[in-house]
Structures are given as structure tokens and as C-alpha cells.
Amino acid sequence: MIVTRFAPSPTGHLHLGHAYSALLAWQEAKKAGGKCLLRIEDIDAARCREEFVDSILEDIHWLGLVPDGPVLRQSDRMPAYEDALTSLKSRGLLYPCFCTRRQIIAEINSAGGAPHGLDGPVYPGTCKGLTKAEASKRIRANEPHALRLNILKAEQIAGNLTWTDRLTGTQSADYRIAGDVVLARKDIRNSYHLAVTVDDAAQGISLVIRGEDLFSAAHIQRLLQTLLGLPTPEYQHHPLLHDESGQRLAKRAGSPTIRSLRAAGHRPDDIRKMIRIAD
Ligand code: GLU
């Protein structure tokens, strides 16, 4: 049975782009006689607000979408993420990184640059060279540190991997270009990639429907699935919505929110028409 999900981060009100993802996920589930689940991705306490959780639940309800199971909140799932980190750590796949952003930039500049990864230049691996004794000493001294994935070691275990996108076909998992990604941030002992991978498996998601801006994230998540012994869902990265002038409909660009459209008198059917989704 197909199980899809809609996984918004409560950092703002839902806009048309979100509604498109949500309606598509519910539509695909319904078409296949499957289920669509809702997950609130609220691990980042500094950016997420309870007010936006309420507003997302209200908008989803107003759009006529009913989750086919309990709503999962990532803020309730910290022990599950910790277990995943422990499992990776026990196999020597993680190392502590004490670098600040500024130190990383300075290191890259002095090395004359770094290859481009998924979200900017690849981490130059400075802290990978620390001895165990040195790293332990700094941890004991409570020096803030992130946990990074040792991509070379990960590659030795995982080798070549593939995943499938419904729209673009079989993809070879290009996880190496990301370098030693952070799996636990300094501030929240967790990361987007880790939480999504663990939760997609926990919720039994068989089809991940999300915007194509997250296409590259699937490379890393595919790797984590193998390292953590989790199943690999199918993916459908949909094109992002643009307005008449070609501007991407993102919340930052001041695009209309679902609640502002509702306040202006629009009905759920109008929203469907605006984003060309049939009921
Ligand atoms: N929470 C992410 C967002 O709102 C989506 C994560 C995902 O679909 O993997 O952009």
C-alpha cells in the first residue's frame, strides 16, 4: 500500500507552494487507495513556533485534508534520533567537529577553495584529523561540537546506491559530493537529514512527495537509509510553483499564504484551481 506524507516545518504560515505539495500527496495516496500522513518538522526550536503549528493544522483541515494516522511531531522524537546517532557512532561513522563557520571559511580560503557540495563548499575535514584523546578532551571541556558523517567510511559500507524518482527515473545516489555532512548540529543534536530519514521509516512512508528543491537531499537520505538499515521509499520531487512573472512561490518572496487567501474570501476549490490540482 502506498503511504505518502506532507512534512512542513512550522516556521511560517502555509503558502500556495505548500498547498500544492500537500494536495498532491493526498491525491496520489487517494488515487492508489493508500494513506497520507502529516509530520510536523519542528526540531529547530529557534525557528519553529507553536502558533505556526496551529495554523498549519487549521489550513490542512480547511483544505479538506485529513491525515490517515496520528500527526507525528519531530520534537517528540529526540530519543529515536539519538538511537540512530548511537548506532552510527558505534561503527566509527561519526566524528565531532568543533569548527565555527568562520574557521571553516578561513580554512577553505587558505587551501585555495573547496569543491562545491549540496549546500555550499564541502567541509575540508579539519576535525577529522583530531586524535581521539584531543577530541575527548575538548568534549569533556564542554566545547560545542557538531557530529559529522565520515563519508569515506560510509562509502566503504554503502558502496554504490540508487534510488528512484517517479518523474526522472533511477538515480545513482551522489552522496559523495556532499562531503562530511553534519548529522547532529551543535545546538540541537540532530539535523534535517537524520530526522527525515528516521521518521520516513518510522511512519512507513513508501512514497516521498516534495518539491524539487529537495531533490539532492535524497542522495544523502538514501545513504543514511543503508547505514541505518532502513527501507528506501520511492520519491516524487515535483516542480516548484512560479507566479506569472516567473518568480518562485516561496514564503520568503511574500507569496500569498493560505490564510490570507481564505481571509480574502477564497474557498478550498479556488486554491485547487490556482495550483491546477483537480479534486
Ligand atoms: N520540512 C521540510 C520543509 O518544510 C520538508 C522536508 C521533506 O519533505 O523532506 O521544507
pLDDT in tens, 244-254: 777 777 655 67
Reported as a pLDDT band with limits 50, 70 and 90, residue 34 is very high
For range 232-257, the mean pLDDT? 81
Distance CA 268, CA 59 (A): 10
Q: Would you state the pLDDT for residue 252?
A: 57
Report the percent of the chain where pLDDT is more than 70. Answer: 97
Backbone angles phi, psi at 71, to 5 degrees: -80, 125
239-244 long-range contacts, CB within 8 A, separation 24+: 239/211, 239/212, 240/17, 240/211, 240/212, 240/213, 241/16, 241/17, 241/20, 241/275
Q: Which one, of 268, 270, 255, 264, lies nearest residue 58 by Cα?
A: 268
Phi-psi region of 159 (alpha: psi -120 to 50; beta: other; left: phi over 0): left
Ligand 1 mean position, distance from CA 90 (Å): 28
Map grid coordinates 516521498 to a residue.
208
In order of 61, 96, 109, 125, 214, the CA distances from 146 in angstroms are: 38, 6, 21, 13, 22
Q: What residues pair up with 236 in beta bridges, in sequence order?
A: 209
Reported as a pLDDT band with limits 50, 70 and 90, residue 242 is confident
Q: Is residue 266 pLDDT above 70, yes or no?
A: yes
Q: Would you state the pLDDT for residue 204?
A: 98
Q: Would you state the pLDDT for residue 277?
A: 74
For range 34-50, the mean pLDDT? 97
Q: Is residue 114 pLDDT above 70, yes or no?
A: yes
Ligand 1 mean position, distance from CA 143 (Å): 30
Q: Is residue 118 pLDDT above 90, yes or no?
A: no
The enclosing H or E element of 6 equals strand 3-6
Reported as a pLDDT band with limits 50, 70 and 90, residue 119 is confident
Ligand 1 mean position, distance from CA 8 (Å): 5
For range 115-119, the mean pLDDT? 80
User: How many helices and strands (H and E) does the chain possess?
Assistant: 10, 10
Ligand 1 mean position, distance from CA 1 (Å): 22
Q: Would you state the pLDDT for residue 256?
A: 87
Q: Would you state the pLDDT for residue 3?
A: 98
For range 108-121, the mean pLDDT? 84
Ligand 1 mean position, distance from CA 116 (Å): 22
Q: Which atom of ligand 1 is nearest to the CA of 5?
A: 8
Amino acid at 204: G
Q: What average pLDDT does the structure give for the chain?
A: 94
200 lines ligand 1 (CB under 6 A): no
Q: Is residue 148 pLDDT above 70, yes or no?
A: yes
Residue nearest to atom 6 of ligand 1 (CA): 7
For range 80-99, the mean pLDDT? 98
Q: Which one, of 116, 121, 128, lies nearest residue 106 by Cα?
A: 121
Q: Would you state the pLDDT for residue 84?
A: 98
7 lines ligand 1 (CB under 6 A): yes
Q: Would you state the pLDDT for residue 4?
A: 98
Residue to mutate (ligand 1; options 21, 48, 210; most atoms within 8 A of CB): 210
Q: Are 222 and 165 in contact (CB under 8 A)?
A: no
For range 99-116, the mean pLDDT? 89
For range 154-163, the mean pLDDT? 98
Q: In this structure, what DSSP letter does residue 217 have?
A: H
Q: In this structure, what DSSP letter does residue 251 have?
A: G
Q: Which one, of 193, 260, 262, 259, lies nearest residue 228 by Cα?
A: 193
233 lines ligand 1 (CB under 6 A): no
18 lines ligand 1 (CB under 6 A): no
Residue nearest to atom 7 of ligand 1 (CA): 7
Q: In this structure, what DSSP letter does residue 186 have?
A: T
For range 55-83, the mean pLDDT? 98
Distance CA 139, CA 232 (A): 34
Q: Are 88 and 149 in contact (CB under 8 A)?
A: yes
The enclosing H or E element of 56 equals helix 50-62
67 lines ligand 1 (CB under 6 A): no
